[in-house]
Structure 1
Amino acid sequence: MIYCTNCGAECPDDAKFCGKCGHALHGETPAGDAAQRPAHSAVSDTQTEQTLWEGRPSDLGDQIRTGMLMNNVHYKLTSQRLLITTGLIGKKTEELELVRIKDVSLEKTAMDRMMGVGTILIYSSDPTTPEIRLEDVKDAEKVKDLLRGAIRAEKEHYGTRYREDL
Structure 2
Amino acid sequence: MNCPSCASETDPNATFCQHCGARLAGDDAQAEQAENDAEFPVPVTGTDPRSKFQQAAAARQTDDDHLEEDVWNGCYSPKAMIGWWIAAGVITILALVAGVLYLSNHFGWLFLALLIGWAALGGRYAYRRFGVHYYLTNQRFIHEAGILWRRIDRIELIDIDDVTFRQGPIERMFNVGTIHLLSSDVTDPTMNVPGIDDVRRVADLIDDLRRKERRRRGLHIEAV
TM-score, normalising length: structure 1 = 0.69
User: Which amino acid is 1:119 matched to?
Assistant: T
Q: Which residue of 2 aligns with 1:107?
A: 166
Distance change >3 Å, CA 61–CA 136, structure 1 → 2:
closer
User: Which amino acid is 1:132 matched to?
Assistant: M
* In structure 2, C-alpha distance between the alignment counterparts of 1:86 and 1:69, rounded to whole Å: 8
Q: Which residue of 2 aligns with 1:35?
A: 40
Q: Which residue of 2 aligns with 1:59?
A: 78
Q: Which residue of 2 aligns with 1:16?
A: none
8 Å contact kept, 1:100–1:126: yes
User: Which amino acid is 1:57 matched to?
Assistant: Y
8 Å contact kept, 1:60–1:115: yes
Q: Which residue of 2 aligns with 1:47?
A: 66
* In structure 2, C-alpha distance between the alignment counterparts of 1:88 and 1:55, rounded to whole Å: 16
How many residues align? The count is: 132
Is the aligned partner of 1:153 residue 2:212? yes
Greater radius of gyration (CA): 2
Q: Which runs of 5+ in 2 are unaligned?
A: 1-31, 43-56, 83-122, 220-224
Q: Among the aligned pairs, what percent are the same residue? A: 29
Poorly superposed stretches of 4+, deviation over 6 Å? 61-69
- For the aligned residue pairs, the C-alpha RMSD in angstroms reads 3.1
Q: Which runs of 5+ in 1 are unaligned?
A: 1-26, 161-166
Distance change >3 Å, CA 33–CA 122, structure 1 → 2:
same
* In structure 2, C-alpha distance between the alignment counterparts of 1:68 and 1:99, rounded to whole Å: 30
Q: Provide, for residues 51-80 of structure 1, a one-character-per-residue CA deviation record: whole Å limited to 9, x for no partner.
A: 111000103476998889962000001000
Which of 67, 74, 89 is the matching residue for 2:133? 74
Q: Which residue of 2 aligns with 1:95?
A: 154
* In structure 1, C-alpha distance between the alignment counterparts of 2:126 and 2:145, rounded to whole Å: 17
User: Which amino acid is 2:40 matched to?
Assistant: A
Q: Provide, for residues 74-106 of structure 1, a one-character-per-residue CA deviation record: whole Å limited to 9, x for no partner.
A: 000100000000111222100000010111111
* In structure 2, C-alpha distance between the alignment counterparts of 1:148 and 1:49, rounded to whole Å: 17
User: Which amino acid is 2:164 matched to?
Assistant: S
SS of the residue 2:206 aligns to: helix
User: Which amino acid is 2:166 matched to?
Assistant: E
* In structure 1, C-alpha distance between the alignment counterparts of 2:33 and 2:164, rounded to whole Å: 47
SS of the residue 1:71 aligns to: helix
Is the aligned partner of 1:128 residue 2:133? no
SS of the residue 1:159 aligns to: helix
TM-score, normalising length: structure 2 = 0.52
* In structure 1, C-alpha distance between the alignment counterparts of 2:65 and 2:151, rounded to whole Å: 28
* In structure 2, C-alpha distance between the alignment counterparts of 1:158 and 1:145, rounded to whole Å: 20
Q: Which residue of 2 aligns with 1:163?
A: none
SS of the residue 1:34 aligns to: coil
The structure showing larger relative contact order (alpha-carbon pairs under 8 Å, at least 6 residues apart) is: 2
